[in-house]
Amino acid sequence: MAMRAYWKGYLRLSLVNIGIELYSATSSQRRISLRQIHKPSGKRIRYQKVAEGVGPVDKDEIVKGFETSKDEYVLLEPDELDEIKLESKRTIDLVQFVEACEIDPRYFEKPYYVVPRDDEVAAEGFTVIRDALRDAKMVGLGQMAVRGRDYVVAIKPCGDGLLLETLRFADEIRESDKIFDDIPEVKPDKEMLELAGELIERKAAPFKPDVFKSSYADALMELIDEKRKEGEISHDDSADSGSAGGRGKVVDLMDALKKSVDKDKGRSKKKSQSTTSKSKSKSGKAA
């Protein structure tokens, strides 16, 4: 089944308008959804829209409101909200260009793939903007309104298409100073730094996201499958008995770093010996 576009509109650069579509670049299929169940009856817990002193209400009777003081609200009708929506509801206007490294990673929120509408004119304009951004090594900034909210967006080349990432507004980012101020100032030992640097260098490799798996999701599915096969819910209290065995001993940081480096060296040595023995074996057979 073809994917459904998240948003359809226009990408505008100065006087150039290009029809585009957005598609979510992420998937939540990997996430395991758990329901709340009433244990005695086995029935699922469901939620209702309820007004205090009134009871359950119909969806058509619900409007949005802004709380001005306790239990006092300014009511806003849907058509009133529609009237104040930005022009960017249907258009993303590229108003500024910056280098990608200038955007603090904390601002990035969610990625979307951008493709041109299914016509030759849109495809040509789309290609020009994509290639111009790639040549300039720049990211375009604009604004977009969707589902009752407006976003700052960053657009950059991604393969044959473009990648749009919604950005948080400045007032949505918490300042780190108040949190980091409590970190004590410690002058690290020179040898410790060298050992840590050696570990980092040994483990440096290109980023391959498929290497990382969700062990929690796998373990959860195994548990669910096991319970499904048993046909009943069982409780294993043995897991709790070994958790109260007292506090573990404090491990010396320097010692841990040295052991980590030695362990990694040992693995490298074994791998080298294995490769050498295989080479000798092959050369012997060839002889």
Domain extent, residue 159, equals 11-26+84-172
User: In this model, does residue 278 exceed pLDDT 60?
Assistant: no
The torsion angles phi and psi of 247, rounded to 5 degrees, stand at -80, 140
Contact between residue 77 and residue 63 where contact means Cβ atoms under 8 Å apart:
yes
Which residue, among 170, 142, 172, has the nearest Cα to 154 in the 3D structure? 142
Q: Which residues are paired to 50 by β-bridges?
A: 56
In a domain, 183, yes or no: no
pLDDT in tens, 100-119: 899 999 999 999 999 998 88
In a domain, 161, yes or no: yes
User: In this model, does residue 284 exceed pLDDT 90?
Assistant: no
User: In this model, does residue 127 exceed pLDDT 50?
Assistant: yes
CA distance 39 to 34: 14
In a domain, 140, yes or no: yes
- Cβ contacts of 183-191, under 8 Å, gap ≥ 24: 189/254, 191/254
Q: Which residues are paired to 150 by β-bridges?
A: 145
In a domain, 138, yes or no: yes
> Which residues have CB under 8 Å from 123's CB, separation 6+?
116
**CATH code of 103's domain:** 2.40.290.10
Distances (CA, A) of 271 to 233, 275, 278, 285: 46, 6, 11, 21
Query: Across the chain, what does the average pLDDT equal?
Result: 80
pLDDT in tens, 224-273: 787 777 775 533 343 444 444 444 444 566 777 677 777 777 766 666 66
Strand 91-93 relative to strand 7-13, pairing = parallel
In a domain, 48, yes or no: no
The pLDDT confidence band at residue 219, using thresholds 50, 70 and 90, is confident
pLDDT of the residue at 41:
83
In a domain, 131, yes or no: yes
In this structure, the chain runs to a length of 287
Six-digit token string for 233: 């819910």
CA distance 131 to 161: 10
Domain tally for the chain?
Answer: 1
CA distance 141 to 139: 7
In a domain, 74, yes or no: no
pLDDT in tens, 81-95: 766 665 446 889 899
User: Quick one: what percent of the chain has pLDDT higher than 90?
Assistant: 28
CA distance 141 to 133: 12
